[in-house]
Chain A
Amino acid sequence: QVQLQESGPGLVKPSQTLSLTCTVSGASISSGGYFWSWIRQHPGKGLEWIGYIYESGDTYYSPSLKSRISISLDTSDNQFSLKLSSVTAADTAVYYCARERGEGIDYWGQGTQVTVSS
């Protein structure tokens, strides 16, 4: 059974960098064909796809966040990570890591609440 689990601080100060890690079990992030993704959901709002990383290391970032975002792979620990710099209150959201297989996201993490506040 594939499982994804987000981890990281739930509170980040404005202007700092938000760092989250997704630990994958039951599947190897080195296996081909999947887009390891980050998605967020603002309070009471819809889903916003942030970006993905392919097993080759190729990445794609949302144009609206591209200047502040970085997604990386750690194949030795079977994890992938998100860094979002210069955060503001507008970055307060539930952050999900997920596995997009090209035909839909078949596995999601449970989500982690991140609040930006001083």
Chain B
Amino acid sequence: QSVLTQPPSASGTPGQRVTISCSGSSSNIGGNTVNWYQQLPGMAPTLLIYSNDQRPSGVPDRFSGSKSGTSASLAISGLQSEDEANYYCASWDDGLNGPSVVFGGGTKLTVL
């Protein structure tokens, strides 16, 4: 059971816009920023969005992130076949034992 909640799957056709949600609580998303990772099959994850809505250099502007309250979203516009991957949200959590990183369970994106 992941601390952050994501839908297990999402899908879209090429060119479409899809969004992936991530729900948390006041101890994580509500009080900290959200990062998103893309994991292609058989590969290590890579940072896709950091600090809620910032893109690392090299990430296309088709990818965007937002946060409101205790939830966050990743949007992918102009969907492409190479976007088929697993997507994970993550945030710091201000737990009683000290700060930790918590992940969502991941969303498998299928490009139809």
Contact = CB atoms under 8 A, between A and B. Distances in A.
A106 B56 contact: yes
Interface in B40-75: 44-47, 50-51, 54, 56
A96 B104 CA distance: 17
* Most chain B beta-carbon neighbours within 10 Å: one of A46, A62, A106, A110: A46
Contacts of B37: 47, 104-105
A47 to B, nearest CB: 5
Contacts of A96: 44-45
A16 to B, nearest CB: 26
B74 to A, nearest CB: 13
5 contacts: A62-B100, A100-B101, A103-B54, A105-B35, A105-B45
Interface of A: 37, 46-49, 52, 60, 62-63, 66, 96, 100, 102-106, 108-111
